[in-house]
Structure 1
């Protein structure tokens, strides 16, 4: 299998705690990620110094690092006629030359001295809409279906702006971030595909099984 040419990290962004009225949690959020200089340590379940306020829905092993492509950010900048700075999507890594939506579940990225593994898409929430002050953003983000990729930390290390993003492994099943996102947000016919990706987090595998079971129960029975 021929792997794509390396991309690059344009910015590494770390969250700051904000107390605001539009969060899903108890009034605080770490969605406001801002560029930081130098090297950042990736260890355990995130980047050192990053803020995760809503730990029920964000962070943890399967959502340790979030990447979003600047090419996709440029589309939103044109769509909304506004500047979309680094970190605007709540992403830790702002990348270029990396197809985050086309990334395969379980593919591994070598970034700096770290190895990261693609785990799942980001699902938009009202906190995101509030942060951008775009009331219908969840609907628009879902329709656009370019969600960015969450990653696990497989090998701890450090990373920084300017580092190459090298895809060093890609599973043969081919199930992409985009397919998982569309399956979970309405395109139920894709649900069986998700069961082909053992690297998908267990809770999403269970959701996929339920979708497949429901589809089978609702399908017309032969007479």
Structure 2
């Protein structure tokens, strides 16, 4: 269901500028494209798409999903049976909050503006379903650095082990594959500004508390390894 939702939202945003698939699919597909050791991409149960306010204002994505039998389910979420898609727009004040664009409500998300303006990593995805049919489509996701910033921002609005898992996977990709192949990396520069500075502050705070955090136990992420990655690749604020 999650991959069917992904395929639907990819096709609903086809040909539009400043669109990135984010959330759990973003983290899972990046780890599939850049495999690290024995780390296994975690599963998700919906699809999240980040779109610019300009794209949101046209309502074209919403209209295409409605034409594909999706129905609004409060705010920015659309559903079709067991499929679910969330549409997100950038937050320019560093905070999560509802934002009305073109008469429709969206979740404004910190770090998304950087992800939308940077070059995407386009992943050629083939999904093999259990009924033996296949589907193939190209998925634009943010760079690994932008993905880290988005996931770091997510931890400021919720306490979830899945975000620790995703951050560890993304930082491990940076460690194993470098910065060129993964879309560039500026989180280790000085000084950091804007969403990079905010993410660095959050990441170092998580690392400082890692050994005592029950989230790391739930996520099965080694605190020492996570802390080492943060201190190696992210400038301390």
TM-score (norm 2): 0.31
Between structures 1 and 2, the one with greater helix share = 2
